[in-house]
Amino acid sequence: MFNKLTFAVALFALAATASAQDKAVTVADFAGTWNIEVMSHQIALVIEPKDASHVTATMMVMGRDVPLKGELVGKTIKLVGIPGETTEGGHVVAKPSGGGGQAITVTLQDDGTLACEMMTGNGPVKWVGEKLRTRKKG
């Protein structure tokens, strides 16, 4: 009897672990405010779900708000600027030349952080984003 019970508990634990590892990532997992440090600059990235696979986002860099949009594929969202969109601060995102534009790739890691990469004129820039947590009122 003890061996059957032990086996059943072990089997349940294995199934629960496998289920947790296979959990599909959704746009809700990206939603919120992320703190990013790039080349000693503090940057905030606010991601908001639009629908099941699309998000809108705002990157706040040195007093400038840059509106972005993106699509979730697997565990990754590629964010691109929204041409011609004006932010609250009055800044306009320039239309990308040649219809392209530099995408910011954000991938949700198993530890809950974002692994981010953006191509610049000097090559790729990589950084990690941590989600800001709100204090619970006690």
Residue 109 lies in a domain: yes
Residue 11 lies in a domain: no
Q: Is the pTM of this model over 0.85?
A: no
Residue 138 lies in a domain: no
**Whole-number pLDDT of residue 11:** 47
Q: Which domain holds residue 59?
A: 22-131
CATH number where 96 lies:
2.40.128.20
The residues, any chain, with a CB within 8 Å of residue 36's CB and separated by 6 or more, are 42, 43, 44, 45, 114, 116, 127, 128, 129, 130
Domain count, the chain: 1
Q: Which of 102, 117, 103, 127 is nearest to 38 (CA)?
A: 127
pLDDT tens digit at each of 138 positions of the chain? 545 555 544 545 555 544 445 678 999 999 999 998 877 788 899 999 999 999 999 988 878 888 999 999 999 999 998 766 555 555 554 444 334 457 899 999 999 999 999 887 888 889 899 998 766 666
**Whole-number pLDDT of residue 90:** 52
**Whole-number pLDDT of residue 98:** 38
The residues, any chain, with a CB within 8 Å of residue 65's CB and separated by 6 or more, are 58, 59, 87, 88, 89, 91
The answer to whether the CB of 35 falls within 8 A of the CB of 21 is no
